[in-house]
A = this chain, B = another copy of it.
């Protein structure tokens, strides 16, 4: 195991009706003037926004609003939010929504107290300072409610990049599984896929002797395999929603990823798809992961065999471990299909003829040197092959 620091000071407030405690927690973490940031009209129509506001009112906390955050959140709205926060002397950004709203909120929080262009952080500069961030989560997926990360798409060139820093880790996150019950099945499934991707990205490691984090990841994957189909079958199953929601947060606060190298190639390869086609990130991952895993499987057959046996219940083929490894990938592919995720470019709305452009953006964008690195290092030819496998 490698040396590491693990610091996850987010206060998770979990369960039914917990959104009514929002004001209490904003106050506890020192917020006095809040920007409520959200996406489309669903949080308005459902009455959630009103309940959050009532809670802020009850705690005598002033607030302003900024709606309009989109899936694959854009830099334009971030600039707008930064200007608004500065003008209105906001000291707390409250995200009410899913990963996109939270990531947009984090970018606003960091940008408001930064002299330069906030995009610097998305080109590798570490975020050291930010307004406080809190969240009221409406979809179990991104794990952004407990992570120090944010992903934003720059409209100029549709470049999708990530930034990081403990300063943007939410001070608190309100997790009410009931809020996710109204999600359409496709979004629920995309969330499930994203959570499983966060686990696989950590599972694919080159660090040896990491049994404890392997076991934690496997435990969370097994939870998803069990609970995922239950919420697809019955969207109102609160208990299944609850198990998925806690798994989603634990999958990405890095408790199960410490002390080991991680992959993230699938995320990088997918980011170009959702940037170009504006598809759901989880849906893009559903198409990407089986292709990537198949392509890199030979790098460590036993690792793929391990997850096949321990998570997917495959029988170990001791003479031909690669058969087991492959069976695990196919079981995952079948699972994704069974919850309604796309399986190829066509179902995703992607086009084969764009592959050269995708590879260019992926391997050469933002000054990259023609490769991406994770579990294995992939060059332009590799990435072309992988995208072709998804067609």
Contacts and interface: CB of A to CB of B under 8 A. Distances in A.
B211 A223 contact: yes
Nearest to A8: B8
A89 interface: no
Interface string A151-170: 00000000000000000000
Interface in A159-184: 177
A345 interface: no
A220 B211 contact: no
A47 B227 CA distance: 50
A259 B14 CA distance: 8
Given A243-B210, A243-B212, A7 B3 contact: no
A16 B240 CA distance: 40
Contacts of A220: 212, 215-216
A239 interface: yes
A299 B244 CA distance: 28
A376 B336 CA distance: 41
A84 B246 CA distance: 43
Interface string A1-33: 111111111111111101000000000000000
Copies of this chain present in the complex amount to: 2
A301 interface: no
A314 interface: no
B212 A1 contact: no
A225 to B, nearest CB: 10
Contacts of A7: 9-12
A259 B223 contact: no
Contacts of A5: 11-14
A380 B2 CA distance: 49
A201 to B, nearest CB: 18
Given A222-B215, A250-B216, A209 B243 contact: yes
Contact of A211 (B9, B11, B209, B227): B227
A36 interface: no
Nearest to A16: B3
Interface string A239-253: 110111011001000
Contacts of A209: 239-240, 242-243
Nearest to A259: B14
B213 A246 contact: yes
A18 B220 CA distance: 29
30 contacts: A1-B14, A1-B15, A1-B242, A1-B246, A3-B18, A4-B14, A4-B15, A5-B12, A5-B13, A5-B14, A6-B11, A6-B14, A7-B9, A7-B10, A7-B11, A7-B12, A9-B9, A209-B239, A209-B240, A209-B242, A209-B243, A212-B219, A212-B220, A212-B227, A212-B247, A213-B246, A215-B220, A215-B222, A215-B223, A250-B255
Given A210-B243, A219-B219, 17 more contacts: A1-B14, A1-B243, A3-B14, A4-B15, A6-B11, A9-B9, A208-B239, A209-B239, A211-B223, A211-B227, A212-B219, A212-B220, A212-B247, A215-B219, A215-B222, A216-B219, A216-B220
Interface of A: 1-16, 18, 177, 208-213, 215-216, 218-220, 222-223, 226-227, 239-240, 242-244, 246-247, 250, 255, 258-259
Ordered nearest first, which 3 A-B pairs have the shortest CB separation? A3-B15, A215-B219, A219-B219
